[in-house]
Amino acid sequence: MIRRKTHFRFLLVTYAFASANFLYAAGPSLSKRCQALNEWMATNSEVSSDPDIIAPASVPLFEHYPYLIRHIPYLDIAKLPTPVKPLNSLGRELGHRNLYIKNDSTTGHLFGGNKIRKLCFLLGQAVYHKADYILTVGGAGSNHSTATIVLSSWSNVNIPCISFLSPQLPTAYTCRNLIISQQYGGELHPCTSSADRAQALLHKAAELQSRSKKVVYIPSGGSNALGSLGYVNAALELKKQIGAGEMPKPDYIFVAAGSNGTAAGLSLGLALAGLDTQVIPVITVPMTSEEFTADARQLIEEMCKLLQLSSIPENIIYPRYTTEYFGGEYARIPNITADALSLMHRTEGFKLDGTYAGKALNAFIDYAQAAAHKDKVLLFWNTFYTDKPRTSFGASDISKLPEEFHHYFTDPLQPGDLGL
């Protein structure tokens, strides 16, 4: 037990540092605030109790590394494995015979998308620490914030979640996510910028701590080393599906990159699975490929430590990032993305978002059309939760949200937004 406690102290410190990189705006004042946030994390993460968490033995990561069951808390809150399917109709349109989708829309019982895989680990940790509060951040329409609020309200977890949200361009899913967050009891704080939200979070944390409350901070996008293990696990899950004949080994996987845990986790997981597949992450935030690559290297190193590996696997193929489809501003839907979204919808019936999945789809379509890739196996990894809210909502629900969010319900949607 002592070893385990020591391990988790270490783990919290590493995740505090991993979280620094992805508060989306850069600049000296912000990095100072990030540092303040990290210092706060490093000094406020004592382990207070023994874990009471069961890791299901059928989770691919624990099948692969059974010793981890005793070291890494995991909450069984996801619906896994997610389906793999051929995209025949899209393939006919693009003249390619080997196109597939791995659909992570269906990861959740109450909310889906890529964040659920990370939260199995992150909320496992919060429960393990007997947190009184979970604090997190995101854009106003953040899928991560919404997923965290929904799942932390679950009876297995039952920890209030406070989220600090900065402005973004309007999208259809922003309205859905705000309503769901409100319905599941999230405490939402509108902030004027990502710097402001870091500041507001620190204030709140200090206030809670002055009342002796234990706080767990989950970074933007859930992309610290612990959360990113969700995508190491996902790659091992894919390996099993390939083994079962559901699809051939992909040569390329296309995925959206925001806070980077999905791409970095997949890249490490594929190496551990012995698959020589290249991950092509499409950057969706105002940062360079070089910044993403450096961050992936650091995340992968930290994940290897959590997995108790002596070194990074020699066969690792680092993600090959592209900024080509970014569109100049977070959540903007460029025309090329709008075209990709409507092609996918017309041929396969999937209604995806233009912030993340639509941009990964752009790269996937471009590869599928290129002569050099006609004999390759291409996998599009959908990270977007496509469902509408389960209950209808009206003006009275909107009025319960902080006023700063009301305009998202009346702002015109961008022309390429397909809605839900």
Which among 51-59, 149-157, 256-264, 403-411 is the span making contact with ligand PLP, rule CB under 6 A?
256-264
Which among 23-31, 195-203, 251-259, 333-341 is the span making contact with ligand PLP, rule CB under 6 A?
251-259
Q: Among 105, 181, 259, 362, indicate the residue that binds ligand PLP (CB under 6 A).
A: 259
**Are 256 and 319 contacting, i.e. CB atoms less than 8 angstroms apart?**
no
Token digits for 289? 């490929």
Instruction: Rule CB under 6 A: say whether 262 interacts with ligand PLP.
Output: yes
Instruction: Rule CB under 6 A: say whether 98 interacts with ligand PLP.
Output: no
- 51/334 with CB nearer ligand PLP: 334
Q: Which residue in 358, 150, 403, 360 sits closest to 262, CA to CA?
A: 360
Instruction: Rule CB under 6 A: say whether 256 interacts with ligand PLP.
Output: yes
Helix (H, G, I), strand (E, B) or coil at 70: helix
Instruction: Rule CB under 6 A: say whether 258 interacts with ligand PLP.
Output: yes
- 21/277 with CB nearer ligand PLP: 21
Measured distance CA(395)–CA(399) in Å, rounded: 6
In whole angstroms, the minimum distance from the beta carbon of 73 to ligand PLP comes to: 20
In whole angstroms, the minimum distance from the beta carbon of 352 to ligand PLP comes to: 9
In this structure, the chain runs to a length of 420
Which helix H or strand E contains 20, and what residues bound it? none
Residue 142 annotated to the active site: yes
- DSSP letter, residue 69: G
Measured distance CA(113)–CA(231) in Å, rounded: 12
Q: Is 410 exposed, middle or buried (0-12, 13-18, 19+ CB in 10 A)?
A: exposed
Measured distance CA(266)–CA(82) in Å, rounded: 15
Instruction: Rule CB under 6 A: say whether 261 interacts with ligand PLP.
Output: yes
In whole angstroms, the minimum distance from the beta carbon of 6 to ligand PLP comes to: 28
Which among 174-182, 185-193, 257-265, 386-394 is the span making contact with ligand PLP, rule CB under 6 A?
257-265
Q: Which of 19, 45, 105, 142 is catalytic?
A: 142
Q: Which of residues 106-125 bind ligand PLP (CB under 6 A)?
A: 113-114
- 153/355 with CB nearer ligand PLP: 355
Instruction: Rule CB under 6 A: say whether 277 interacts with ligand PLP.
Output: no
Instruction: Rule CB under 6 A: say whether 354 interacts with ligand PLP.
Output: no
- 98/145 with CB nearer ligand PLP: 145
- 93/353 with CB nearer ligand PLP: 353
Contact letters (x/-) for ligand PLP, 126-165, by CB under 6 A?
Answer: -----------------xx---------------------
Instruction: Rule CB under 6 A: say whether 416 interacts with ligand PLP.
Output: no
Contact letters (x/-) for ligand PLP, 197-226, by CB under 6 A?
Answer: ------------------------x-x---
* Residue reference for tokens 């000094």: 43
Measured distance CA(184)–CA(205) in Å, rounded: 21
Q: Which of residues 381-400 bind ligand PLP (CB under 6 A)?
A: 383-384
Q: How far is CA 387 from each of CA 47, 109, 113, 118, 352, rounded to the nearest angstrom?
A: 37, 11, 10, 19, 10
DSSP string covering 86-148: E-HHHHHHHT-S-EEEEEGGGSBSSS-STHHHHHHHHHHHHHHTT-SEEEEEEETT-HHHHHH
DSSP string covering 226-245: HHHHHHHHHHHHHHHHHHTT
Measured distance CA(228)–CA(262) in Å, rounded: 6
Catalytic positions, please?
142
Footprint of ligand PLP (CB under 6 A): 113-114, 143-144, 221, 223, 256-263, 356-357, 383-384
